[in-house]
Amino acid sequence: MDIADWRKKIDELDCRLVELLNERASAAKEIGKLKRNTNLPIYEPLRENTIFENVRKVNRGPLPDKELQHVYERIIDVMRNIQKIEAVPKKESEVEVDKQKS
């Protein structure tokens, strides 16, 4: 394969990554709603450590574990921000709008 072929492959992989990241964000959003309803904290360091352990277990390289963890730290940070938005109690007017949409 030449450089153009490799770049095309990377573009295709990026599309798949975007789909997976958005799927993960949707799950994080739902967890944020559950945390709001159950008063659970957004930041859960034990859960984050479990995620890091899980991704290290399945990592077969060439990405080093340390670098993979850096990537996941950023992903988790973004997902935590999504949860923060969902965890904020909705105002009465927003609840009514949501009911009207249903």
How many domains would you assign to the chain? 1
Domain that holds residue 52: 3-92
Q: Is residue 98 part of a domain?
A: no
Q: Is residue 11 part of a domain?
A: yes
How far is it, in rounded angstroms, from Cα 47 to Cα 94?
31
pLDDT at 95: 58
Per-residue tokens: 81: 């921000």
Among 63, 79, 72, which residue's Cα sits nearest to residue 23?
Answer: 79
Q: Is residue 99 part of a domain?
A: no
Q: Which residues of the chain have pLDDT under 50?
A: none
Q: Is residue 21 part of a domain?
A: yes
Per-residue tokens: 43: 């930041």
pLDDT at 25: 97
pLDDT at 76: 97
pLDDT at 87: 73
Q: Is residue 72 part of a domain?
A: yes
Q: Is residue 97 part of a domain?
A: no
Q: Is residue 100 part of a domain?
A: no
CATH number at residue 34: 1.20.59.10
pTM value surpassing 0.85: no
Q: Is residue 55 part of a domain?
A: yes
pLDDT at 99: 67
